[in-house]
C-alpha cells in the first residue's frame, strides 16, 4: 500500500490569486475527500520503465511507479481527459507544449477516464478535463475545464515554485511582426521540424499577405505534432478566400458593404477576407456578431467560419478569448 498523503497531512493548495475567480469557485465546490492512504486500487508494479519520458499515459497498474514514486523527485501534473471531450483536445496539446517549454521541470501524466474508470472514481473526477498535481506524494487540485495557455502557464509556474523547482526563464517571442519573423526563422534553422516554429512563422506569412509561403510551412506540420490541428485550421482559413473570390473578390465585397452597411452577407464575406489575411480578431468580432444577429443562412455560415478561425488563432490573444467566451454564451 502506498501513501498519497501521510496521516494528518493537509492537501497542498495553490497560493492565493494563482487561479481565476471562476477557477477558485470550481475548486472550492469540489468535495474534500480524505487522502490519507491510497487503497489497493493501485496495483504493485515494477520500477518505471519510462523514467526518462516527460509525457506518459498512465493506468491503474502503472500509477504507483509512473506518478507516485516519480513525484518524490519531480512534480507530476495529471491530466484526466476523454476522447469525446472537446475542450480536452485544446488543453492536452497546450499542456504538452508547456511541458516542453518547461524543459522537464515536471512530468505530464495523462489518464483516459474511459480506459481507467477506477482512477477517475478514486480522484472523484466530476468533469473533464480536470488537472491535478502530485508533489512528493501529496495532492494539489489545480483546475477544471480548458484555460487559455497563459493562465495554465501561470498555474504551473506557481506549482513548481511551491515545490521548490527552478522555473525555466521564459523564451518569449517578440510581439513585433518583423522581429517575430526573425525569431521563428532562427528556431527553424536550429530545428527544421519544430512544429511551433512552423505554425507561428506560417501564420506570420499569412498575416503579412504571403499566403503561398505560409501554406508551405503550415503543410510541414506533422499529424503527430501538437500544433497540427491549429496548422490545419489556418490552412482552412485560406479556403475562405474561395468564397470571397466567388463573390467578385475582396475589393468587390468591401465596396458592396460600404455601399450598404446592412448587407450582412457582404459583412460575412469581408470577415472571411480578414480571416484569410490572418486578421483573426477583426474577423471573429464580425463573425460572432453575425452568429448573434444574422439571418439563418448567414448565421450558419458565420458559425462554421468562426469555428475554423478560432482554431487557427490559438489561445494566446485575450481579445480573441473574450470573443470565444461570447460565442460560447450565445450557443450554450
Q: Give 39-76 pLDDT, tens digit per residue.
A: 444 554 444 434 346 899 999 999 999 999 999 999 99
Averaged pLDDT score across all residues of the chain? 82
Catalytically annotated residues: 85, 88
**Residues 64-113: pLDDT tens digits?**
999 999 999 999 999 999 999 999 998 999 999 899 888 889 999 999 99
Question: What pLDDT sits at residue 241?
Answer: 78
**Residues 295-314: pLDDT tens digits?**
999 999 999 999 989 988 87
Pair (139, 243) in one structural domain:
no
Average pLDDT score over residue span 5-14? 42
The residue with greater pLDDT, 237 or 58, is: 58
Q: Is the pTM of this model over 0.85?
A: no
247 close to 269: Cβ distance less than 8 angstroms: yes
* pLDDT interval class at 169 (50, 70, 90): low
The residue with greater pLDDT, 129 or 243, is: 129
Pair (154, 176) in one structural domain:
no
For residue 28, is pLDDT > 50?
Answer: no
**Residue 234 within any structural domain of the chain:** no
* pLDDT interval class at 19 (50, 70, 90): very low
**Residue 15 within any structural domain of the chain:** no
Find the domain containing 202 and state its range.
172-226
Q: How far apart are CA 329 and CA 58, in angstroms?
A: 35
Pair (139, 181) in one structural domain:
no
* pLDDT interval class at 156 (50, 70, 90): very high
Give one DSSP letter per residue of 65-96, joined into a string: IIIIIGGGTS-EEEEEE-TT-HHHHHHHHHHH
Eight-class DSSP state of 64? I
Instruction: Identify the three-state secondary structure at position 251.
Output: helix
Q: How far apart are CA 130 and CA 88, in angstroms?
A: 9
Average pLDDT score over residue span 245-265? 93
Number of domains in the chain: 3
Pair (116, 194) in one structural domain:
no
Last residue of a domain, one of 120, 137, 162: 162
Pair (139, 191) in one structural domain:
no
Amino acid at each position: 500500500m502506498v501513501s498519497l498523503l501521510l496521516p494528518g497531512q493537509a492537501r497542498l493548495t495553490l497560493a492565493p490569486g494563482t487561479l481565476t475567480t471562476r477557477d477558485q469557485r470550481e475548486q472550492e465546490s469540489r468535495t474534500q475527500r480524505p487522502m490519507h492512504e491510497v487503497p489497493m486500487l493501485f496495483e504493485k508494479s515494477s520500477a518505471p520503465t519510462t523514467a526518462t519520458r516527460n509525457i506518459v499515459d498512465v493506468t491503474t497498474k502503472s500509477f504507483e511507479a509512473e506518478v507516485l514514486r516519480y513525484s518524490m523527485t519531480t512534480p507530476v501534473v495529471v491530466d484526466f481527459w476523454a476522447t469525446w471531450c472537446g475542450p480536452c483536445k485544446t488543453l492536452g496539446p497546450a499542456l504538452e507544449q508547456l511541458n516542453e517549454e518547461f524543459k522537464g521541470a515536471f512530468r505530464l501524466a495523462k489518464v483516459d477516464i474511459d480506459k481507467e474508470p477506477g482512477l477517475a472514481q478514486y480522484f472523484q473526477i466530476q468533469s473533464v478535463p480536470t488537472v491535478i498535481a502530485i508533489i512528493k506524494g501529496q495532492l494539489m487540485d489545480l483546475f477544471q475545464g480548458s484555460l487559455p495557455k497563459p493562465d495554465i502557464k501561470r498555474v504551473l509556474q506557481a506549482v513548481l515554485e511551491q515545490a521548490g523547482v527552478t522555473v525555466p526563464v521564459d523564451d518569449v517571442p517578440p510581439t513585433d511582426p518583423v522581429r517575430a519573423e526573425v525569431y521563428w526563422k532562427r528556431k527553424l534553422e536550429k530545428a527544421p521540424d519544430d512544429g511551433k516554429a512552423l505554425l507561428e512563422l506560417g501564420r506570420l506569412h499569412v498575416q503579412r499577405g504571403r499566403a503561398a509561403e505560409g501554406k508551405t510551412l503550415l503543410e510541414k506540420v506533422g499529424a503527430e505534432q501538437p500544433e497540427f490541428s491549429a496548422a490545419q485550421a489556418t490552412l482552412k482559413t485560406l479556403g475562405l478566400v474561395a468564397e470571397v473570390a466567388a463573390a467578385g473578390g475582396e475589393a468587390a465585397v468591401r465596396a458592396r458593404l460600404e455601399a450598404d452597411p446592412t448587407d450582412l452577407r457582404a459583412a460575412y464575406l469581408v470577415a472571411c477576407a480578414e480571416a484569410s489575411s490572418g486578421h483573426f480578431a477583426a474577423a471573429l468580432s464580425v463573425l460572432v456578431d453575425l452568429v448573434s444577429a444574422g439571418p439563418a443562412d448567414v448565421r450558419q455560415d458565420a458559425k462554421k467560419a468562426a469555428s475554423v478561425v478560432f482554431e487557427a488563432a490559438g489561445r494566446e490573444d485575450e481579445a480573441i478569448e473574450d470573443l470565444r467566451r461570447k460565442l460560447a454564451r450565445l450557443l450554450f
